[in-house]
A = this chain, B = another copy of it.
Amino acid sequence: MTNRILVLPGDGIGPEITAEAVKVLDACYEEGFDMELVFGKVGGDAIDATGVPLPDETLKAAHDADAILLGAVGGPKWEALEPREHRPEKGLLGIRKGLELYANLRPAILYPQLAEASTLRPEVVSGLDIMIVRELTGDIYFGEPRGFGEKEDGTRYGYNTYISDEKEIRRIGRTAFDLARKRNRKVCSVDKANVLEASMLWREIMNDIAKDYPDVELSHMYIDNASMQLVRAPKQFDVIVTGNMFGDILSDEASMLTGSIGMLPSASLNASGQGMFEPSHGSAPDIAGQNIANPLATILSAAMMLRYSLEAPELADRIERAVGDVLDQGLRTADIMQEGARRVTTSEMGDAVVEAF
């Protein structure tokens, strides 16, 4: 069966880095992996072409695809756009919600070859391997009602609703526990149950799910403490599961512990295994078009795609091994450059991975 992959290069460095991931997918194709690539527009790229960040055509192509490979969206060019519904981020949020991609997996892995890149002391982060599981289609991101209002005395206010329901919590909880079973069997659930009702329900349901996974250890942490513990002793974590908003914050903090966010992929999955895969970093408009961005996070996102959506785990393994090999060879893009290493361009890095594949 042909695997249909929708490629959405997006903005900034998006086109350059997805081009390298496509090279690697092409290498898979040449070895017999049956795929068809479709290209589409999202974010600022789509705004420029059609006036909206998520054209119907793109959403339809996304629905029809088995998996989506996304570069990055956004940039200063579109930041002040009105109405706000037309900003690039809405393209991203629209696909997440439209395809009900509720499970966001964001590994924070420190590659031993890049230990120097971390701002943390080597002994604190060496061997770091955390999987953050973030709920992606609920929470305060999509909660209604939301908007602006005016009090009787004319004071303006803005408001949002943080809402989470049993089913939503249960399905993301199961994702986390299932993943933990393939790892070190530890789940840390992060919430703010000492203050928020939405979190109190979250914690109750997590405790309930844990009963079905007697072989997995569940702990709870308040979000403020979790943001501290990631700095103090990050290796205490295996799988972290949390809501959309807390996950946004913690996953970025955790990636930065590695010092090389240019290396970190992400997956966003729905219940039928369909997924969107994208680097954890942003669109980096300041270096766009210069052929210096690091394509490895996008290439590793393609590997996650093969593993989680396209049932080709051996190819995923091979890509990940190839990435390790090019690091061993001392090849580095500017963002991860070190003394004694060889600096390469975006496309040279992509070529090197294909070579090592």
Q: Which residues of A does B touch, CB under 8 Å?
A: 74, 84, 87, 89, 93, 119-121, 124, 140-141, 143, 146-148, 151, 155-167, 192, 194-202, 223-225, 227-233, 245-246, 248-253, 255-257, 259, 261
Contact = CB atoms under 8 A, between A and B. Distances in A.
A155 B166 contact: yes
Contacts of A257: 231
Given A120-B120, A121-B119, A158 B256 contact: no
A140 B256 CA distance: 27
Contacts of A74: 194
B232 A252 contact: no
B195 A147 contact: no
B162 A231 contact: no
Contact of A225 (B162, B199, B245, B252): B252
Number of copies: 2
Contacts of A165: 151, 155-158
A228 to B, nearest CB: 4
Contact of A228 (B192, B202, B246, B256): B256
Contacts of A224: 248-249, 251-252
Nearest to A282: B225
A251 B231 CA distance: 12
Contacts of A164: 157-159
Nearest to A229: B256
Given A89-B194, A249-B249, A161 B158 contact: no
Q: Which 10 A-B pairs have the closest CB atoms?
A: A158-B201, A157-B165, A228-B256, A159-B163, A227-B253, A224-B252, A158-B198, A158-B197, A231-B256, A119-B124
Contact of A232 (B84, B89, B148, B256): B256
Contacts of A140: 140, 162, 195-196
A356 to B, nearest CB: 29
Given A140-B196, A227-B227, A253 B252 contact: no
Residue with the greatest number of chain B CB neighbours at <10 A, chosen from A121, A231, A250? A231
Contacts of A245: 192
A155 B165 CA distance: 7
Contact of A201 (B148, B163, B259): B148
Contacts of A228: 252-253, 255-256, 261
25 contacts: A84-B200, A119-B231, A119-B233, A151-B165, A155-B165, A157-B163, A157-B201, A158-B196, A158-B197, A158-B199, A159-B164, A159-B198, A160-B161, A160-B162, A161-B161, A161-B162, A225-B252, A227-B250, A227-B252, A227-B256, A228-B253, A231-B231, A231-B253, A232-B256, A246-B249
A257 B120 CA distance: 10
Contacts of A156: 165-166, 201
Contacts of A157: 163-166, 198, 201
Contacts of A120: 119-121, 231
A198 to B, nearest CB: 4
A158 B164 CA distance: 6
A223 B198 contact: no
Contacts of A196: 140, 146, 158, 160
